[in-house]
Structure 1
Amino acid sequence: MKKAILAGLRWTSLRLRLVVVFGLVALTAAVSASGIAYWLNREAVLTRTQDTALGDFRQEMQNRAASLPLQPTAEELQLTAEQMARSSNPAYDVVLVDRRPDGQSIVGASDTDAFTVKDVPASLTGAVDEKQRISEGNAYPYHLFWQRIALRGKPYLVGGTKIIGGGPTGYMLTSLDKERQDLNSLAWSLGIASGLALLGSALLAQAAAGTVLKPVQRLGEAARRLGEGQLDVRLRVSGTDELADLSRTFNRTAEALEKKVADMSAREEASRRFVADMSHELRTPLTAITAVTEVLEEEQDSLDPMIAPAVQLVVSETRRLNTLVENLMEVTRFDAGTARLVLDDVDIADQITACIDARAWLDAVELDAERGIMARLDPRRLDVILANLIGNALKHGGSPVRVSVRPEGEELVIAVRDNGPGIPEDVLPHVFDRFYKASASRPRSDGSGLSLSIAMENAHIHGGDITADNAPEGGAEFVLRLPRDASRLAEDNQEGGAK
């Protein structure tokens, strides 16, 4: 399903645009060519029919209408009109009109049902009756005029002329319906041809798009895999075009990135191994030094007053070094991915009380937690989180430190708020960074700068998180959110470690 959606998205992007552009170009070319062809054929067909009919009508007017007496009767006009219509090629109907000196009009028509004087446009009648000036470019006072009209829903050609030197005026009417049908057939043929051209262009565009986009799709897939961490991905390069150059550039970039990442990973692994080895090697002499300092601390009251401060300094610094080594080893386990959860059902109020009591913080911490709030967590890691958060609050914020617990659905929320000036805004984004100390805004700390980062790592391994902010009432507030049951996450961690 996901692949189909991605394919659809690819289709609606560059491929569709290429097909649309090809189609528009082909459609424009086909419509233009069809329009020009239709217009040229239309004019050729109509002009041929028109010239043939008007030429025949002019000849008939000269042969038949001109031979009538000066004042023909209606019967003579009708007979002549019928003769002209019967001999016409192409077929047309004829109306002959003769005007007497007294203004009376005599009309003769070949077929009064098909064509009468009323069917002749007034503009054509006026043009036929108008006498032209004789000049070098115009040798005759009267000319043959024509006009295309629509009569009773069909196309017709109507023409008219006047006998020069006296005689009747003749009008002819021939149908253009056959030509219209032929032109409609031509239009349909050109339309079908345009449609086939559009379809062909779409198929060609699809083939061209496939040829162009396949390398682009391969490049996109390779970039996606490279982004997912598969640094050994490479593209097959063929040809000398721009896409081939792009593939070569990608391969060189991927190769350089793989080498750089490999070098960085090697250095990082060496650094982690060095820290782990150093921490491990320090534990043995630290154990001996700790034992000696404990003896010295017990005998401190009997020592020379000049020596006692030095002994106290050695004891405190030894404890600090011991804590630093333990923290470094813990960080190393997190970095190596070997940290695991050992879950147990914990009463949160009892766990916090035990943490505070073990470190003699009962007088400096106010606990707001109901007993009976149970959670399935790693007790040791929860103790580390609480000890680091509360210890940090006591060092930098001052007592009393308020610890409150409240359940929120499937989550457990533990808030630790101190009584100090709060955390500066520029320090807040870095409080969980390793070895970060806000020495410019707080008194010098004897900590290592690892306690809060270790607390965050322990929260993450539970599937939780810690946020830091300043409380509206004053002081800094750290909020720990943990799932009330981390069993599923513990199983995932164990499976990940087995792999």
Structure 2
Amino acid sequence: MTKALFAGRRWTSLRLRLLVVFALVALVAAVSASGIAYWLNREAVLTRTQDAALGDFRQEMQNRAAALPADPTPEELQRTAELMAGSSPGYSVLLVHERKDRRLVFGTAGATSFGLDDVPKSLQHAVNDRQKSTTANDAEYHMYWQRTKPNGNPYLVGGTRIVGGGPTGYMYKSLATERDDLNALGWSLTIATGLALLGSALLAQAAARTVLKPVQRLGEAARRLGEGELDHRLDVSGTDELADLSRTFNRTAEALEKKVADMSAREEASRRFVADMSHELRTPLTALTAVAEVLEEEVDDLDPMIAPAVGLVVSETRRLNDLVENLMEVTRFDAGTARLVLDDVNVADQVTACIDARAWLDAVEVDAGRGIVARLDPRRLDVILANLIGNALKHGGSPVRVSVRVEGEWLVVAVKDNGPGIPEEVLPHVFDRFYKASASRPKSDGSGLGLSIAMENAHIHGGDITAANGPEGGAVFTLRLPVDVGKVIAGGGTDA
């Protein structure tokens, strides 16, 4: 599932961006090239057709229309128009002559029948506009042309007038063939653009695969490295930037593996030292504890000058004994050798027994139903309760209230004191080992391990402990444990 999601994210990110960029570049390039090619070919085709038709028409006007008499008859105009259109089939001819009586005489011929109304007015005015003769302009009339689209069909219309008197001639040529050729060219360029776009997509896919494959391998290697496979390395070949990145990854992984190995070795040596030291201290501590108990029994018979010293020795011996026991418990958690011994426990009785054994009955209020039974390790539950209640009495204030309830599949035990609460800056660290809220009291009665050991015992049950301040003041420690630990951590190293 994770791999599929990761692959999906890769597809929607870098791979897709590469495809889009390649496609856009190819599309812009293809459209630009096709547009330029189409425009150049269109101008070339139209200019060639136009120049050929207008040149031939000018020549015909000079050879045939100029040979007409000054006042030609309609028959003469018609015959001349037919001769002009017949000499170059492809355009139609219209000859117009204004007689002395102001009447217009027409002669028309060609494949397309057209009249003076088909000639744009602007072209008629330009053709009949008499120019002034200058050194640079020796002709009174010039040839003009215009492209029109009557009824959506393209035509070329050209016209000129005979200098010195004579008819005005117009030619009318259809550009439908050229339009069809240009449309075919346009479709060909469109298909070529589509093929270019498809080719760019395939090329982008190949390029993306070439680029992303090493990146994917690098990502997979980084994931495996993050999961603890510090000996994983990448196969490197080539001299490009991705190969350099892979080599850098391998060097980093090698350095990380070495550093982690060194740290693990030092941590293991430290744990072994603490465990060995704790074991070595137990024998002399047993003897010291026995002597301290004897001295404590005889303290009333001792010299008043010596009694305080004896009391100090007894209390410090017990404190040292508790510290050694706590250190041994911590080393078992660190080594992963701590085990649960599960039993069905009446939680209310367990809480009462914990408080009674430590003579806290007068300072602790218990709110627990007698019917609450949980399957857990009673010894470790006692350790958790003793640390939480003892911490509340020591740093909070009595009365301490212990409430027990069941929420679904969870056993919830809340320990609330009557003190000023826990400073906000201290809350994140209350379960840290050897942490003490007051730096000015480094030699307080506690070792700084009690709450940490309580948390470890909660974790081994599959539960947790949280610390907070109550709305009405005072600190609240909330223990959450599964009602049936055996179901939660079945097969997880539990000795039932």
Alignment TM-score, normalising by the size of structure 2: 0.94
Match for residue 474 of structure 2?
A: 475
- The amino acid that maps onto 1:281 is E
Match for residue 5 of structure 1?
A: 5
User: Offset of 1:236 from its aligned partner?
Assistant: 2.1
Counterparts of 2:149 and 2:334, CA distance in 1: 92
User: SS in structure 2 opposite 1:349?
Assistant: helix
User: SS in structure 2 opposite 1:494?
Assistant: coil
Match for residue 47 of structure 2?
A: 47
Contact 1:396 1:442 in 2 (8 A): no
- The amino acid that maps onto 1:76 is E
- The amino acid that maps onto 2:487 is R
Counterparts of 1:77 and 1:479, CA distance in 2: 117
1:69 aligns with 2:69: yes
Deviation per residue, 1:369-403 (Å, 9 max, x gap) = 22212322222211111110000011111211011
Match for residue 424 of structure 1?
A: 423
Distance 1:407 1:228, change over 3 A: same
- The amino acid that maps onto 2:193 is S
Match for residue 335 of structure 2?
A: 336
Deviation per residue, 1:407-447 (Å, 9 max, x gap) = 22222222111112222222222111111112347796211
Contact 1:424 1:441 in 2 (8 A): no
Match for residue 119 of structure 1?
A: 118
Distance 1:341 1:110, change over 3 A: same
- The amino acid that maps onto 1:29 is A
Match for residue 130 of structure 2?
A: 131
Match for residue 360 of structure 2?
A: 361
Match for residue 262 of structure 1?
A: 261
User: SS in structure 2 opposite 1:407?
Assistant: strand
Contact 2:91 2:112 in 1 (8 A): no
Deviation per residue, 1:223-279 (Å, 9 max, x gap) = 222222211122222222322222222222211111111111000000111111111
RMSD of aligned Cα (Å): 2.1
Contact 1:340 1:490 in 2 (8 A): no
- The amino acid that maps onto 1:99 is E
Kindly, what percent of the aligned residue pairs are identical? 78
Counterparts of 1:358 and 1:102, CA distance in 2: 143
Counterparts of 1:444 and 1:287, CA distance in 2: 23
User: Offset of 1:492 from its aligned partner?
Assistant: 4.6
Counterparts of 1:461 and 1:303, CA distance in 2: 47
Counterparts of 1:305 and 1:143, CA distance in 2: 142
> Structure 1 stretch 299-308 or stretch 401-410: which is displaced more?
299-308
Match for residue 437 of structure 1?
A: 436
Match for residue 217 of structure 1?
A: 216
Match for residue 15 of structure 2?
A: 15
> Structure 1 stretch 258-267 or stretch 108-117: which is displaced more?
108-117
Deviation per residue, 1:137-177 (Å, 9 max, x gap) = 22211111111111111111111111111111111111111
Alignment TM-score, normalising by the size of structure 1: 0.94
Deviation per residue, 1:115-140 (Å, 9 max, x gap) = 11111111111110101121222221
Which runs of structure 2 are paired with 1:138-149 in the superposition (5 Å)?
138-149=137-148
User: Offset of 1:97 from its aligned partner?
Assistant: 1.2
- The amino acid that maps onto 1:435 is F
Counterparts of 2:403 and 2:144, CA distance in 1: 107
Flag structure 2 segments of 5+ consecutive residues without an equivalent: none
Contact 2:462 2:482 in 1 (8 A): yes
- The amino acid that maps onto 2:208 is A
Which runs of structure 2 are paired with 1:15-414 in the superposition (5 Å)?
15-89=15-89, 91-110=90-109, 114-414=113-413
- The amino acid that maps onto 1:430 is H
Counterparts of 2:481 and 2:101, CA distance in 1: 119
Counterparts of 1:254 and 1:171, CA distance in 2: 87
